[in-house]
Amino acid sequence: MRKPFVAGNWKMNTDGRSGVALAQAIASGSLQQASRKVTVAVCPPFVYLQSVAMALRASSVAVGAQDIYFESNGAFTGEVSASMLKDIGCTYVLCGHSERRHVIGEKDVLINKKVAAAIVGGLLPILCVGELLGEREESKTEEVVTRQMKEGLVGLSDEKVAAVTIAYEPVWAIGTGRTATPQQAQEVHNFIRNLLAEMYDTPLAESIRILYGGSVKPDNAADLMGQQDIDGLLVGGASLKADDFLAIIRAAV
Ligand code: 13P
């Protein structure tokens, strides 16, 4: 059985004080019961990771980074390695988020190195995939997702892939208020699971969690979670409001 997983991606939001307050509100909000049934993580900006991790250390809420660099140390100005993230208490790391792909310009080859480095460094990567609006309109969703999955995971053994979570985030649904319908999301999630079975094997594909992201809100979370291949939610905007994020966690139980 796949344990539901709800992760909040704070993106480039909050400040030191509000980030810690948000983390504390999430930790103390009715999570005690839910947390046993749902994996919960928050992904603050790099500079607040340590203070948020400290604020959450007595709770079951995990901390994730929004990005990573694939080298372990050295002359890579501005970059942050897996061991540094691990050192300050991170468990997860987003790799290939759509904003990194489409705003910053990251390609699959780089994303693959990040996924691999995260696993070697003891972190659990969340590989984000998803098509642009134009690609969906041209019926290229499966083609794009296949490329992102195959290139993103290339070279990883079965054992390593078991550490990966996939997040399907259609780019047209991110921050737009335009959620994929539960059926649209389920279709792609099922496609991704079948693809994983093809790339690895069925038991492994059945064990990997596939999250949906893109305008997830308290009022659509339960319907999305009701789909067979939707194992969790990667939440942007609504993860910045403790009440909304807590409501989404409850909807995922
Ligand atoms: P929104 O929930 O704000 O649409 O963002 C989704 C997302 O990109 C999460 O990583």
Which of these ranges, 23-37, 73-87, 156-170, 191-205, has the smallest mean pLDDT?
23-37
- Please state at what angle helix 242-252 crosses helix 16-28, rounded to 10 degrees: 40
Which residues are tagged catalytic?
A: 97, 169
Q: Which ligand 1 atom sits closest to the C-alpha of 167?
A: 10
Asked if the model's pLDDT at residue 34 lies above 80, the reply is: no
Q: If you take atom 7 of ligand 1, which residue's CA is the nearest one?
A: 236
Nearest to 41 by CA among 73, 21, 63: 63
Residue 73 Cα, ligand 1 centroid: separation in angstroms?
A: 30
- Confidence category of residue 30, pLDDT binned at 50, 70, 90: low
Ligand 1, from 6, 11, 178, 217: best to mutate by most atoms within 8 Å of Cβ? 11
Asked if the model's pLDDT at residue 32 lies above 70, the reply is: no
Interacting residues of 165 by C-beta distance below 8 A, sequence separation 6+:
5, 92, 124, 125, 126, 127, 208, 209, 210, 211, 232
The whole-number pLDDT of residue 163 equals 98
- Confidence category of residue 178, pLDDT binned at 50, 70, 90: confident
Residue 129 Cα, ligand 1 centroid: separation in angstroms?
A: 12
More confident residue, 16 or 34: 16
Q: Which ligand 1 atom sits closest to the C-alpha of 175?
A: 4
Q: Which ligand 1 atom sits closest to the C-alpha of 216?
A: 2
The whole-number pLDDT of residue 1 equals 83
Q: If you take atom 1 of ligand 1, which residue's CA is the nearest one?
A: 236
More confident residue, 18 or 30: 18
The whole-number pLDDT of residue 105 equals 98
- C-alpha 115/C-alpha 152 separation (Å) is 7
Average confidence (pLDDT) over 15-29: 96
Mean pLDDT of the chain: 96
165 is written with which tokens? 């979570």
- C-alpha 235/C-alpha 221 separation (Å) is 10
The whole-number pLDDT of residue 88 equals 97
Residue 74 Cα, ligand 1 centroid: separation in angstroms?
A: 32
38 is written with which tokens? 């749902």
More confident residue, 125 or 29: 125
